[in-house]
């Protein structure tokens, strides 16, 4: 197999610094947050961020869903700059920290830097084995499509063969997503999308529906699958049925859509065309579970690390599950120093 060229995979999403800590359920209730959910914060959450940094012992961990996935993919590939990341940060210490951590991991970060708005943050609140995410996008929300038009970024887009965008980015810059997805379809490349969170299907379904016909690989978890089904008006919450229906939605190119839905410790459901396969997941002991923040991102990172090398679906799912388990054993989306997958 020929070596993987630089800039093979482009990721695009919101680069955020996770402010992570452990909280009681009462804290989530107080701020109107749910376990295992991800939302955009509104003004009422400003005081929550103040309270977190004042009264709790917090860790600052580089976050942002697609950036996490790329860091994990790079860790497994063990060959820098196979992946590139587009997103917006502020001209500040947090933005510099995100860039240095991503580069350290081998990701070629091509941020759009906003001189006036600060880098986005995300409260990552751990409660037992659950995680609740509340994102304050700030600079991440200011990404504009013209960043992709820059000559150096155009070259990267031409080099890339795979694209990974999260549903979260639909709230920021749909034209940029459509640009990458359309380019991918035109040149017979592979465009992958993550449903990311129930609120994307609930509140941004029109924009999501514009992108779906261009999606070659669709990722999600069981809650996101249920929200996607409801938004489509499908009378089912059965993950297999939703995956089959999602795979059968209209598509621009002729290659069959691949749908990959994770279900925590339950089997990974994969649909290719009209064929359903279940891949069992090795269950971790309760004492091995440190926190589940970043597990879904890690699964995608592991999956794509194999998929972009042309390895089959089984190898990709196996590596995705391996990566998710490694992340669950540590705080935040942080990887062990050595990757034992090889």
Distance CA 342, CA 118 (A): 39
Are residues 120 and 138 in contact, defined by beta-carbon separation less than 8 angstroms?
yes
Point out which residues pair with 219 in neighbouring strands.
194, 260
- Kindly list the averaged pLDDT for each block of 10 residues, start to end, along the chain of length 342: 88 94 94 91 90 92 92 95 98 94 93 96 89 94 98 98 98 98 97 97 98 98 97 96 98 94 95 95 79 84 97 96 87 72 72
The class that CATH gives domain 9-15+64-119+137-328 is alpha beta
Distance CA 10, CA 156 (A): 8
CA dihedral 87, 93, 98, 102 (to 10 degrees): 110
Distance CA 234, CA 241 (A): 9
**Distance from the Cα of residue 28 to its chain's centroid:** 23
Task: Name 207's Cβ contacts closer than 8 Å, sequence gap at least 6.
Answer: 170, 174
Distance CA 18, CA 131 (A): 12
Are residues 46 and 142 in contact, defined by beta-carbon separation less than 8 angstroms?
no
Q: What is the pLDDT of residues 249-274, one digit of tens each?
A: 999 988 999 999 999 889 999 999 88
**Phi, psi (degrees; rounded to nearest 5) at 273:** 65, -110
Neighbours of 156 (CB within 10 A): 17
Task: Name 90's Cβ contacts closer than 8 Å, sequence gap at least 6.
Answer: 113, 114, 116, 117, 118, 119, 120, 138, 139
pLDDT of 247: 98
Tokens 């020929």, residue located = 2
In terms of pTM, does the model score above 0.75? yes
Domain limits, the chain: 9-15+64-119+137-328
Distance CA 6, CA 29 (A): 46
What's the burial of 24, exposed, middle or buried (CB within 10 Å: 0-12/13-18/19+)? exposed
pLDDT of 214: 98
Distance CA 51, CA 49 (A): 5
Distance CA 165, CA 66 (A): 7
pLDDT of 291: 64
Point out which residues pair with 124 in neighbouring strands.
20, 133
Tokens 């993550």, residue located = 194
State the helix-helix crossing angle for 65-77 and 295-307, rounded to 10 degrees: 50
pLDDT of 273: 87
Q: Which residues are catalytic?
A: 297
Distance CA 283, CA 222 (A): 17
């Amino acid at each position: 197999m020929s070596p993987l060229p630089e800039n093979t995979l482009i990721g695009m999403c919101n680069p955020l610094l996770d402010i992570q800590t452990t909280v009681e359920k009462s804290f989530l209730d107080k701020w109107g947050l749910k376990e295992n959910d991800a939302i955009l914060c509104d003004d009422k959450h400003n005081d929550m961020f103040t309270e977190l940094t004042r009264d709790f012992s917090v860790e600052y961990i580089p976050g942002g869903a697609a950036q996490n996935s790329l860091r994990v993919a790079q860790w497994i590939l063990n060959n820098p700059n196979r992946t590139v990341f587009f997103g917006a940060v502020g001209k500040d210490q947090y933005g510099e920290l995100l860039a240095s951590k991503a580069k350290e991991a081998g990701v070629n970060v091509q941020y759009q830097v906003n001189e006036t708005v600060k880098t986005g943050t995300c409260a990552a609140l751990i409660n037992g084995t659950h995680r609740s995410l509340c994102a304050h996008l700030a600079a991440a929300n200011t990404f504009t499509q013209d960043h992709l038009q820059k000559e150096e970024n155009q070259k990267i887009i031409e080099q890339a063969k795979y694209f990974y965008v999260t549903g979260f980015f639909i709230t920021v810059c749909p034209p940029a997503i459509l640009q990458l997805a359309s380019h991918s379809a035109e040149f017979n490349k592979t465009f992958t999308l993550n449903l990311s969170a129930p609120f994307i299907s609930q509140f941004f379904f029109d924009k999501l529906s514009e992108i779906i016909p261009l999606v070659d690989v669709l990722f999600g978890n069981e809650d996101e699958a249920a929200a996607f089904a409801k938004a489509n008006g499908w009378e089912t919450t059965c993950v297999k049925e939703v995956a089959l229906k999602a795979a059968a939605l209209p598509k621009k190119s002729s290659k069959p859509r691949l749908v990959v839905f994770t279900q925590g410790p339950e089997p990974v459901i994969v649909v290719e065309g009209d064929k359903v396969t279940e891949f069992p997941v090795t269950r971790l002991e309760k004492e091995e579970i440190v926190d589940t923040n970043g597990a879904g991102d890690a699964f995608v990172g592991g999956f794509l690390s194999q998929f972009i090398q042309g390895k089959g679906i089984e190898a990709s799912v196996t590596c995705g599950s391996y990566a998710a388990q490694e992340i669950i054993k540590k705080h935040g989306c942080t990887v062990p120093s050595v990757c034992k997958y090889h």
